Structures are given as C-alpha cells and as structure tokens.
Amino acid sequence: MSKQISIVIPLYNEEESLSPLWDWIQKTLSDKYTYEVLFIDDGSKDDSWKVIEGLAKNNSKIRGIKFQRNYGKSAALQKGFEACQGDVVVTMDADLQDSPEEIPELYDMIIKEDYDLVSGWKKKRHDPLSKTIPTKLYNWAARRITGIYLHDFNCGLKAYKRSVVKSIELYGDMHRYVPALAKYAGFTNIGEKVVQHKARQFGVTKFGLNRFLNGPLDLITVAFMGKFGKKPMHFFGALGTLMFLIGFLLIFYLGIDKLFIHQNARLLAERSEFYVSLIAMVIGVQFFMTGFISELIGRNSTHRNVYLIEKRIPESSNEA
C-alpha cells in the first residue's frame, strides 16, 4: 500500500540518536499522515542496527537496511530511494540536527505547490567556521555551474516527488548534487525552504577533510554528465575538430610558405611549428577516439553499482 510520506534516513554510528529521532518523528506526524521510515545503516560499527531492530519490533512503519560495509551516504540514499513507497520522499540525517517538524510543510510544498524537489536551507548554522566558510564557497560554485540557485545544496533535509528519486542514480559522493541530477533528468521545478539546524547532541561528524577535494571534483563530473553524459561525442568531437583544424591549418601554412614564399628557408622538420601542428592533429584524433569509445560504452553499458546488504527489516529473500 502506498504511503503519503517515506522518510529515508542514512546513518553511520548513530546509536544514541535513533530512539530520540524516532520519538520526534512520531510526535510530529502522529496519525495525520500515512508514512514509513527507512533507516539505512551504512555499515555501522556500533549498536545502531540493534537499536533499529528494537524499534522495528513494535512498529510496522519502520523498515531497515544494513550494508555489509561502509559505502557512503550516496549508496545509502540510493538503496533507500529504491525501496521507498511514499508519494513524497523526505531525506534527513540521523544526528538530530535536522528537525522532523519541517516535514509537514515540505510535504505541502510538494503536493499543493507541485514542486518536484524542495531543498532545505540551513540559514542559521550551528557549525564551526572551518565548515561554514568552505560550504559557502562550494554553494557559490555549485550555483554558477549548475544554474540552480539554491543557498544550501548539501542540506540533508530535502523532499522529492517519488518520480524524482526513481529517475536518478546516486554513486560516489553524488548525494551533494541531487538537485542537479534531478534537473538533468527533466525535473526543473525546484524550490527551497528555510529549515532549522540543531546543534549535534551525540557523537561526532562523519565527514572529513576529503570532502573539500571530492566536492569540487564531483561537481565537475555532475556538470559534465548532465550536459554530455548521453552525447559525449558532442564534447570530445568538438575539441577534436578544433585541435585537428588548428594543426592542419598550421601545417598547411608551413607547406605553402616553404613551396611558394620562402623556398630557401629551413626544412620543415627543422621548424618547431611543424611539430606543434603534428601534436595538435594527434591530440585531435585522440579526442575523436575518446568520443567514439565513450559513445560505445554509453550505448552498451548495463552496469549498476552493487551494494552488499547484510540485513533487512522486514526480511526479504528477493535481494540479489
């Protein structure tokens, strides 16, 4: 039976936060909505899964997936998106920094205002400057590159139409760019809502300094895949044509110069311009070959990322 809301909560070592979070969700949604909560345990080393099992014993609204090892937030969200059944899918973090009290308004924005996606904006953050300043720079770059004018791309609290999450695939660290992936999939009605940001009560953040390197690289990947993922030859072919044309025109000029203008000048093989033209044409051919190979891979690839699931609530024998 379809639910009104699916709440997808990826987590890693958050045993102390799970019971208070579940109580908070129940208190907020009570009997006003039909909903399900999917806890995606990303290979936690603590007792997070035991807590989820305990909560699920007394409530059929709770579902759980436990990965065999830590794959990352994108993998957890992807499995949650595949399993969810709600008309509106809400994602939030398990650390109690995202407030479930925002969910009813997010739901109304999707259902009543017909947004495809609504992203939270933590306008007032309870984070150190070492995190807020890079976040501002990252959001500025993301707005410029994707053309989506959100203040906070990386906010974990978001709401989607079910058709959105069923149309995209997350891998690597692409969870930061779900709005861009949705836009490139054809869902352009993207909204934003100011949401509360609570201070962390338990544990420590799970994100390290590597996000400052991975974030920009993933942004470039998303921008490229969004524009040229289905037609890589348009990108590599254009570069190849340009480089080959530059090289050809240069060597053509050198030939005309040697044959008709400066016949007594140095041999072509003694001129540096000759080698520059050859290199330009070789690079042009390489770009063409890259484009052809990319087209072949794209048209024949059936690969999907495989995440090994150790346990599931409720138990199912259908997992390959």
Looking at the structure, tell me whether residues 180 and 220 fall in a common domain: yes
Phi, psi of 130 (to 5 degrees): -65, -20
Looking at the structure, tell me whether residues 150 and 28 fall in a common domain: yes
Inside any domain, residue 114: yes
Separation of alpha carbons 38 and 10, rounded Å: 8
Higher local confidence (pLDDT), 205 or 167: 167
Inside any domain, residue 320: no
Q: Is the pLDDT of residue 10 over 60?
A: yes
Most confident of 17-31, 162-176, 221-235, 305-319: 17-31
Number of domains in the chain: 2
Looking at the structure, tell me whether residues 264 and 178 fall in a common domain: no
For residue 315, the model assigns a pLDDT of 77
Q: In what order do the strands lie in the sheet with 158-161?
A: 190-194, 117-121, 158-161, 86-91, 3-11, 35-41, 62-67, 309-313
Tell me which of 213, 228, 243 is where a domain ends: 228
Q: Is the pLDDT of residue 20 over 90?
A: yes
For residue 131, the model assigns a pLDDT of 66
Question: What would the pLDDT profile of 254-313 be if each residue is shown by its tens digit?
Answer: 888 888 777 777 777 788 888 999 999 999 999 989 988 888 877 666 556 667 788 888
Looking at the structure, tell me whether residues 214 and 272 fall in a common domain: no
Separation of alpha carbons 46 and 124, rounded Å: 31
Inside any domain, residue 306: no
Question: What would the pLDDT profile of 43-81 be if each residue is shown by its tens digit?
Answer: 999 999 999 999 999 888 999 999 999 999 999 999 999
Whole-prediction pTM: 0.76
Is residue 83 classed as helix, strand or coil in its secondary structure? helix
- Kindly report the CATH number assigned to the domain that includes residue 68: 3.90.550.10
Round the average pLDDT of the chain to a whole number and report it. 86
Separation of alpha carbons 199 and 181, rounded Å: 29
Question: What would the pLDDT profile of 81-122 be if each residue is shown by its tens digit?
Answer: 999 999 999 999 998 989 999 999 999 999 999 999 999 998
Identify any residues that bridge with 65 across adjacent strands, giving them in sequence order: 40, 312
Looking at the structure, tell me whether residues 136 and 23 fall in a common domain: yes
Q: Which domain covers residue 118, as residue numbers? A: 3-228
